[in-house]
Amino acid sequence: MTAFAIEAENLTKHYGASVAVDGISFALAAGSVTGLLGGNGAGKTTTIGMIMGLVAPTAGRVRVLSADMAREPHQVLHRMNFESPYVDLPHRLTVRQNLRVFGLLYGVPGIVDRIAALARDLDLTEFIDRQAGKISAGQKTRVALAKALINEPDVLVLDEPTASLDPDTADWIRSHLERYRARRGATILLASHNMSEVERLCDRVIMLKRGLIVDDEPPAALIARYGRQTLEEVFLDVARGRREPMKEAAK
């Protein structure tokens, strides 16, 4: 069995003449938390789409838990899950109905107990029988996370999991993700624009710019190499092309 949960090899995506992802390669160790960073249009969502099998690569390949996502996604889809603010759950269904439907889709044994456990862990009890379209943004994010955790995935892909949340709710979500990773040993890939979130959660950061990997290191090493205090400053340096990494500058 491979030690890598996700392996991307020369992953490329063209949309007509536009290059969204330009031959990137990386391998994520099982049980790791990796941040995928980059400005708008850097290729984060397209990369996530290819990992999840939603977008077909123009070239290269992705393997998740050893399965080639272009040829055999159904070998592993039941062991993966995904959350994104750009994807919704049906608004007219109650939270409980949504979780039941996804529990059935993922073949979750003991759905009733699993939903009860998620409701307890993610504090959904108060609104679990309310329609998903009639709950607040913070509650929706918790419900989306509950859907993403319904099958206790080995690989969890999160696209901006705390976008538009107040600091308290965002902190609460991050703590839950930390606990989930510790308990389950899951591999988490996280695309985020929140640098303090990435610093707190991630063992490693892959920074994309115009479809290419420009940095790939642990957050602390990246901050040190750029001679900065925070990851946000590093992000701004990379995004604005203001400063070369210190090692490069020394050369």
Partner 1 sequence: MSASSSFSVQRVFAIVLRHWYLLRSSWPRLLELIYWPAVQMIMWGFLQLNVARMPGALAATASTFLAAVMLWDVLFRGQLGFSMSFLEEMWARNLANLMISPLRPIEFVIGLVVMSMVRLAIGLVPVSILAIVFFGFNLWGLGLALVAFFANLLFTSWAVGLLCSGLVLRHGLGAEGLTWSLMFLFLPLTCVYYPVTTLPAWLQPIAWALPPTAVFEGMRALVVDHVFRADLMVWALALNAAGLIIAAAAFLSLLGAARRAGSLISVGE
Residues 61-100 vs partner 1: string with x where CB under 8 A? -------------xx-xxxxxx-x-xxxxxxxxx--x--x
H/E segment holding residue 46? helix 44-52
One residue of 2, 10, 56, 246 binding partner 1 per CB under 8 A: 56
One residue of 43, 53, 211, 219 binding partner 1 per CB under 8 A: 53
If binding means CB under 8 A, how many residues of this protein chain bind partner 1? Answer: 43
One residue of 31, 61, 130, 131 binding partner 1 per CB under 8 A: 131
Can you tell me the distance from the alpha carbon of 62 to that of 75, in angstroms, rounded to the nearest whole number?
14
DSSP 127: G
Instruction: Return the closest-CA partner of residue 184 out of 213, 214, 148, 210.
Output: 148
Nearer of residues 100 and 174 to partner 1, judged by Cβ: 100
- The verdict on 120 binding partner 1 (CB under 8 A) reads no
* DSSP E strands, the chain: 4-15, 18-29, 33-37, 59-64, 67-68, 80-83, 155-159, 187-191, 204-209, 212-217
Reading the block at residue 84, the tokens are 């994104």
Closest approach of Cβ 141 to partner 1, in Å? 15
Closest approach of Cβ 79 to partner 1, in Å? 7
* Segment contacting partner 1 by CB under 8 A, of 41-49, 135-143, 198-206, 221-229: 41-49
Residues 166-195 vs partner 1: string with x where CB under 8 A? ------------------------------
Reading the block at residue 196, the tokens are 């303090």
Q: How far is CA 58 from CA 8, 12, 132, 162, 245, in A?
A: 13, 6, 36, 31, 31
Closest approach of Cβ 114 to partner 1, in Å? 11
Strands 155-159 and 187-191: parallel
- Residues of this chain that bind partner 1 (CB under 8 A): 13, 15, 20, 45-46, 49, 52-56, 74-75, 77-82, 84, 86-94, 97, 100-102, 104-109, 131, 147, 151-152
